[in-house]
Amino acid sequence: MDPDDLDLDANVLALDVLNRLFNKIDLNGDRRISLSEMTTALDSLGLQGAEEVAKQVMAAADADGSGDLDFDEFADVLSIIEQGGLDQSFRLLFCGFDKNDDGFIDQMEFRQLFKFLDVQVSDAENRDLFASADANGDGRISPAEALKALNGL
């Protein structure tokens, strides 16, 4: 298999996962994420200060000023984080998934992320997504690698 094909497959899969995540957060199914829904999602991660982080995310990403996020605005959160607009919020989210507090997300934590989000991915899909995010191939995802992978969607 051509390595470029793997990247394309991983990007398609990652976009699918992002869409499923959006749908999971969108509790009422109106294809928009409200502050309340974002707060609930962040709170369910056990994130301290979830409401404040949700407010920061919403304020930064709500491009049309509607008070909620459509899918495109939700996807743009990743670009905003990369530009430094939500650096602290991203670190808090990353720490929420780094269960052993070693500063990285390993394969087990990565799989648990999908289970927590109730997103079904096969073992092969999990391996492909993990491999595409683990840029240096050391078997763990750093915050920088996670951000780069998310922004590549």
Domain boundaries, the chain: 3-151
- Rounded Cα–Cα distance for residues 62 and 58 (Å): 6
CATH class of 3-151: mainly alpha
Q: Is 67 left (phi over 0), alpha (psi -120 to 50) or beta?
A: left
Percentage of the chain beyond pLDDT 90 is 29
Which value, to the nearest 10 degrees, does the dihedral of the CA atoms of residues 105, 128, 73, 60 take?
20
pLDDT the model gives residue 56: 86
Q: Which of 24-38, 53-67, 84-98 has the highest mean pLDDT?
A: 24-38
Model confidence, pTM: 0.64
Mean pLDDT computed over 50-54: 86
Averaged pLDDT, 48-73? 89
